[in-house]
Structure 1
Amino acid sequence: MGSQNFLAFSFSLLLIFSQISSSSFTFDPTRVTQLSWTPRAFLYNGFLSDEECDHLINLAKGKLEKSMVVADDNSGESIDSEERTSSGVFLTKRQDDIVANVEAKLATWTFLPEENGEALQILHYENGQKYDPHFDYYYDKETLKLGGHRIATVLMYLSNVTKGGETVFPMWKGKTPQLKDDTWSECAKQGYAVKPRKGDALLFFNLHPNATTDPTSLHGSCPVIEGEKWSATRWIHVRSFGKKQSDGCVDDHESCEIWAKAGECEKNPMYMMGSETDLGYCRKSCKAC
């Protein structure tokens, strides 16, 4: 792991250890498969129970709206687009006991704290509906202030799909080709693909370990050919999501002065002082403003 990301990762560990006891979830490594290193992607077989899947779908029914895409890198404004034809709805964080338990399970598996995640988005794809290949990281300054880049994405499949609806990575760079028969859609044959299976969860990272964006994380949802597809998405940011960082010359963590004296301003400049698009946590102690 790159030095500039080490502090953030360490904080995540401390928070996760405090959260694990509140969830009945026990991580089972035998049910996790490493799919790829380019991008880094992992599949958890049976992450959600049938009851959890059905509950999340029921929470969304009757509330779905046409899915949008981000169109402006300066404002983060979203618009309707034929690139994304599904419908969806955002739940509220910890909306009920089941949602809260799912969020705690995600934190336990990913080792990324709950507070860094966006609220779950439930998505519904009917026949022919899809989401063209796209990145989950972005550069609009307003959104970055809310939590920085999306370091990771978790796609939880809430239903089986008769045919189509695969998640595809067109820029995957594996050494061994993924063999596909006629049960795969033509879209899925354009890269490494994952079939939607009820209860499974796909985790992939949008950033490299050194915190730079990973172009091989480009991904899309193939058109549904037979049946329908339900899924739940959890986007996880590099820091707590939902609260803009202070714009003034301040420190946003109580340990900033100690870290600065220990040389972290030079060792971890992105975390401590930020960049052109992402404000750091310790600008005052690093004398960066």
Structure 2
Amino acid sequence: MYFHLLLLLLLCGIANGAAIDALPGWMGETHDVKALRPIIIEPPKVIALSWRPRAFLYKSFLTHEECDHIISLARNKLKKSMVADNESGKSVESEIRTSSGMFLSKAQDEIIRRVEDKIAAWTLLPHENGEAIQVLRYEYGQKYEPHFDYFQDKYNQALGGHRVATVLMYLSDVIKGGETVFPSSETKQLKDDTWSECGKRGMGVKPKKGDALLFFSLHPDGTPDESSLHTGCPVIEGEKWSATKWIHVGSFERPVREVTDCVDENALCGEWAAYGECEKNPSYMVGTKGDPGRCRKSCKVC
């Protein structure tokens, strides 16, 4: 009730053009107005692309400055992209995926925190269910062949369950190619010669700097949606930068607690470490001094 009153006062002040920097609290404290300002999602900018799979495009979801900032954080830290083996869950190199990429840290800085806030507000899915943002670069000829974002193996499913939703943010324009295509979608599109041959093979989205694609890999009842099969078409001209946020059915995080012993807290830690999760998912596996991870012993950090 009190928060609603503060918000009403804030909105009235904004509507009247008042320069309000702080609002008083009931115990004499003050509240930073900037911290109270909500994330605004603009429905007119969201386009429903398909219902099988459920896919939506948010035009200008990121500012160009946000796109450039994310690229600057990733540019010098890129490594060959990996895929999860369907049987073992191990991260392996594959010609299925030929991009390079890296993971940011959650809330790495204020800009990344703001982007994550916008994702949570748009998807209505909690912060803790999301993985860290992965930044990818596709150069000439590089692509990601048709695949699902939900998992086939039990090891990755143990970390927060299936991926239920994906938010794919385009950080750059691409002159030709690089489309995201759903070959099994029931939606039909009219396409001209500005689309690549790969891009014409199903419902697709052209990369446009600042746009974001949200699609769901599971049906509302939690079962895998096979129509969510998707591909990243080869880049024909230009360079493609993107940032992906995968969101799970359950929490991908764990409560902060005090740990004094060098131990693994999950029976699968050794296998996850062997599959490269210490590097892929350091927040869960390794953690920090103030917030230790679950698999410090297997990751050999203690």
Q: Which TM-score tier does this pair reach, normalised by the shorter chain?
A: 0.7 to 0.9
Distance 1:146 1:53 in 2: 29
Distance 1:197 1:80 in 2: 28
Distance 2:162 2:245 in 1: 13
Distance 1:190 1:39 in 2: 15
**What is the CA-CA distance between 1:25 and the residue it aligns to?**
2.6
Higher-RCO chain (CA-CA 8 Å, sequence separation at least 6): 1
Q: Which moved more, 1:238-247 or 1:209-218?
A: 238-247
* Counterpart position of 1:128: 141
**What is the CA-CA distance between 1:73 and the residue it aligns to?**
2.7
Instruction: Give the secondary-structure state (helix, strand or coil) at the position aligned to 1:180.
Output: coil
* Counterpart position of 2:8: none
Residue 77 (structure 2) pairs with residue 55 (structure 1): no
Deviations 1:67-102 (A, max 9, x none): 00111434x101111110000000001111000110
Instruction: Give the secondary-structure state (helix, strand or coil) at the position aligned to 2:231.
Output: strand
Residue 195 (structure 2) pairs with residue 179 (structure 1): no
Residue 224 (structure 2) pairs with residue 210 (structure 1): no
Deviations 1:189-216 (A, max 9, x none): 1111100000000000000001000000
Contact kept in structure 2, 1:121 and 1:233, CA below 8 Å: yes
* Counterpart position of 1:231: 242
Distance 2:248 2:59 in 1: 24
Q: Which moved more, 1:115-124 or 1:142-151?
A: 142-151
Residue 102 (structure 2) pairs with residue 81 (structure 1): no
* Counterpart position of 2:117: 104
Distance 2:69 2:36 in 1: 20
RMSD of equivalent CA atoms: 1.7
How many residue pairs get matched?
Answer: 224
Mapping of residues 160-199 of structure 1, within 5 Å:
160-174=173-187, 177-199=188-210
Q: Which runs of 5+ in 2 are unaligned?
A: 1-34, 255-263, 268-302
The letter for the 1-side match of 2:92 is I
Residue 25 (structure 2) pairs with residue 25 (structure 1): no
Q: TM-score, normalised by structure 2?
A: 0.72
The letter for the 1-side match of 2:201 is Q
Distance 1:46 1:147 in 2: 30
Q: Which runs of 5+ in 1 are unaligned?
A: 1-20, 248-289
Distance 1:67 1:99 in 2: 21
**What is the CA-CA distance between 1:145 and the residue it aligns to?**
1.4
Instruction: Give the secondary-structure state (helix, strand or coil) at the position aligned to 1:82.
Output: coil
Given the alignment, which residue of 59, 62, 83 partners 1:69? 83
Q: TM-score, normalised by structure 1?
A: 0.75
Distance 1:42 1:229 in 2: 20
Distance 1:77 1:207 in 2: 22
Instruction: Could you list the structure 1 runs, at least 4 aligned residues long, displaced by more than 6 angstroms after superposition.
Output: 244-247
The percentage of counterpart residues that share the same residue type is: 63
* Counterpart position of 2:296: none
Instruction: Give the secondary-structure state (helix, strand or coil) at the position aligned to 2:219.
Output: coil
